[in-house]
Amino acid sequence: MAAEIPTKAGGMMGQPQQNPLALVQFKLKEVETKFRGWLAKQSLPVEAAVVTTTSAAQGAAIGAFMGTLTGDASSLITPPPNAANFNPDAMASLKQAQALAGGPLIQARNFAVMTGVNAGISCVMKRLRGKEDVQSSMVAAFGSGALFSLVSGMGGPNQATNALTSGLFFALVQGGIFQLGQKFSQPPVEDMYYAKGRSLLSNLGLQNYEKNFKKGLLTDTTLPLLTDSALRDVNIPPGPRLLILDHIERDPELKEKRKSSR
């Protein structure tokens, strides 16, 4: 058998070289797509639990990293011996400084609470209301802010008041950020006809196929009418086709329109 001849790039003659980084990215994207597809089929409690856990883990990692950069300075912020005679407002400020100056473990806990609760509430609101809007975003931010206040111990001695004010602050900030994001990321007018389709693909982790929908003029009004052959005509592979059709069958609104159109 003739030996394979190495090319100048270090590979074998006739065997195309693959970019390892691109291959890893492709595999990760494939795993993410399968995970999103699996998650979309789960019940609300399961989806909320998974989303909350994964987001909390990501937040904890970010918080721990930030804690290592700032160091644990909370030990340097100690109350004086006569702290009992201090003004309550002054003691509250001291506690806030201690909460913000904690080391990796403290910051990991704080960020895990903020990101986990926010993602969990957002997931529930999106499933119940069927959309993502400023109201859902503010409710999620309120919940994360209130729980963060209780866990971190920030604020004065009245925990209920602290939780309420922190929640309102988080909600207002998040609402403002959401509105700014909406203002500066308005899609082209023609994209409005593909809003529901874009949301459907996003939920399934299939955003890359939005261009296929537009190429085939598969607008939102055609979603209840989609068939395997229609998706095949716009060059969507079998796996994504199955996920899309299954999602349409499970969506009460689309399912009802599908029945009425027959």
**What HEC string does 134-151 produce?**
HHHHHHHHHHHHHHHHHH
Question: What is residue 12's three-state secondary structure?
Answer: strand
What's the rounded Cα separation, in Å, for the pair 145 and 123? 17
Question: Picking from 27-41, 109-123, 166-180, which range would have the lowest pLDDT averaged per residue?
Answer: 27-41
pLDDT band at 187 (very low <50, low <70, confident <90, very high): low
Whole-angstrom distance, CA of residue 47 vs CA of residue 125 = 12
Identify the pLDDT of residue 66. Answer: 81
Residue 76 has pLDDT above 80, yes or no: no
DSSP state of 155: S
pLDDT for 98: 53
Work out the average pLDDT over 227-253: 90
Q: Give the least confident one: 14-18, 45-49, 115-119, 120-124.
A: 14-18
Instruction: With a cut of 70, say whether residue 81 has pLDDT above it.
Output: no
**Domain span(s) for CATH 1.10.150 in the chain:** 189-261
Mean pLDDT, the chain, integer: 78
Regarding pTM above 0.75, the answer is no
Out of 94-98, 189-193, 208-212, 255-259, give the one with best mean pLDDT: 208-212
Burial code (b: 16+ CB inside 10 Å, e: under 16) for 92-106 equals: bebbbebbbbbbbeb
- Report the pLDDT value the prediction gives residue 156, as an integer from 0 to 100: 62
What is the per-residue pLDDT for 252? 80
Biggest alpha carbon–alpha carbon distance for the chain: 92
**Which residue type sits at 225?**
L
**Considering only CA atoms, which of 90, 197, 220, 209 is closest in space to residue 98?**
90
**What pLDDT was estimated at residue 118?**
93
More confident of the two residues 67 and 91: 67
Averaged over 236-261, what is the pLDDT? 84
Per-residue pLDDT band at 1 (split at 50, 70, 90): very low
CATH topology assigned to domain 189-261: DNA polymerase; domain 1 (1.10.150)
Range 211-217 average pLDDT:
91
pLDDT of residue 95: 54
3 state SS of 6: strand
Residue 234 scores a pLDDT above 80: yes
